[in-house]
Every structure is written in C-alpha cells, then in structure tokens.
C-alpha cells in the first residue's frame, strides 16, 4: 500500500512497550508523529529514540503524540529501551510498536526492497487530528533524522492549517510567513492587521499571525 499526503492514515492494533494499543485511540484528538526504525540494538536508532524522549515536552506542547515502530519482537524492545535510556540519559515514555510479522510496516509501505528486503527505511509520518497524513519523510537506514526539523515542520503544518499562509525557505517559529497568493490584498489587510510587505505581487510577507 502506497500512502500519499492527504490520505487517511490506516488504523491498526499492536503490542507496544506500553501495552496493546489501538492507533486511533492512542492519537485521540492529537497530532501524531509515527516513525520507523530498521531494527533494535542498532546505533543510529538508539540515538534517535533517545533524542525523541529528550524532546517529549516539545512534542507535548504542540499537542503531538509520539509513537515508534521496529520489526523486532516486544521482548527485544523492552531490553533495548534500557540501552536507549542509558545512552540518551533519558526515559523513553512513548510506545514502541513490536512488528515482527511486518504487517504494520507493510501497511505503511516502510519496507523498500531495493534498500533492504527485511528492514524498514526511516519513515516519518505526521498525522493531523482528523487522521490525515500531512507529511512524509523517508530516509535510508544509514542516515539519522533531525528531530528539530520534525518539530519545525510540525510548527509549520499547524500554523498553515490555521491561517492562509505558507512558510518560506528555512522558516523557523516566530519568523515572517508568506500570505497565500489566492488571498486578495484587501482581504489580506483584514486577516493580517500587522500588515504585510510586498516583494512581488505573488510574494507577500507578514509577521507570524499567532504571535
């Protein structure tokens, strides 16, 4: 199954390091960050899961729930978490899904045979409260992800869902954003009382509207 932006994220039930979950029930009305790992006791994954635990409060501030998956069994996950906590000097407080039969990895198209026939690639899915997939990142197994970039993308998604704006190159929280070209100037003045500057007729910058 090939998932695309705007698709409904498939639901599933799974065993995790925090007990059995129903994916939709776990997410509730929150945003979701669902990310995959090629295998347990691998060096890059250990650092990634630790960083995610360190950033748990940042995800919580954004009303986002974290959930990870690896194709190894639950008893392996439980032992691995001890290493993650030690290496990252943190506490993993989010569920890691056990997927030894690769059903969920297959459901989310996380196994790319030309990269590896058995291990998942490093996928990230950001899912909105309506269970729609809003962002997909795909990294090869050898490259660690930047979770600050995932937070930045989550900020941008939440902002652009609420306002008719887009975020320009290298945008960070608190910086100016771009008004949607479809919004006429007159309407833009009403929607953005802080004003805007025109670089091109189709490129208008305004201060971040929720700041």
As annotated, the active-site residues are 45
Helices 43-54 and 147-162, packing angle to 10 deg:
50
Residues 6+ apart with CB under 8 A from 72: 39, 40, 80, 98, 100
Strand ranges, E, within the chain? 13-16, 19-22, 31-37, 64-70, 96-98, 122-127, 133-139, 165-166, 177-179, 197-200, 203-206
CB 74 within 8 A of CB 38: no
How big is the chain by its Cα radius of gyration, in Å?
19
- What percentage of the chain's residues is helix, strand, coil (to nearest 5)? 30, 25, 45
- CA pair distance 62, 147, nearest whole angstrom: 14
- Whole-angstrom distance between the N-terminal and C-terminal Cα of the chain? 40
């Amino acid at each position: 199954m090939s998932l695309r932006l705007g698709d409904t994220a498939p639901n599933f039930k799974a065993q995790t390091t925090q007990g059995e979950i129903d994916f939709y029930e776990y997410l509730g009305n929150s945003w979701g960050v669902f990310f995959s790992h090629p295998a347990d006791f691998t060096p890059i994954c250990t650092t990634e899961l630790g960083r995610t635990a360190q950033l748990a409060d940042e995800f919580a501030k954004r009303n986002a729930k974290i959930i990870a998956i690896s194709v190894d069994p639950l008893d392996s996950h439980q032992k691995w978490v001890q290493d993650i906590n030690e290496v990252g000097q943190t506490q993993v407080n989010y569920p890691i899904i056990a997927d030894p039969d690769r059903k969920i990895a297959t459901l989310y198209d996380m196994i790319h045979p030309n990269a590896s026939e058995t291990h998942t690639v490093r996928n990230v899915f950001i899912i909105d409260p309506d269970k729609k997939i809003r962002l997909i990142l795909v990294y090869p197994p050898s490259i660690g992800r930047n979770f600050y970039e995932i937070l930045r993308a989550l900020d941008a998604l939440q902002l652009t869902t609420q306002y008719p704006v887009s975020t320009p190159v290298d945008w960070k929280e608190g910086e100016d954003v771009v008004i949607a070209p479809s919004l006429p100037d007159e309407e833009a003045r009403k929607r953005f009382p802080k004003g805007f500057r025109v670089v091109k007729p189709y490129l208008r910058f305004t201060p971040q509207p929720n700041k």
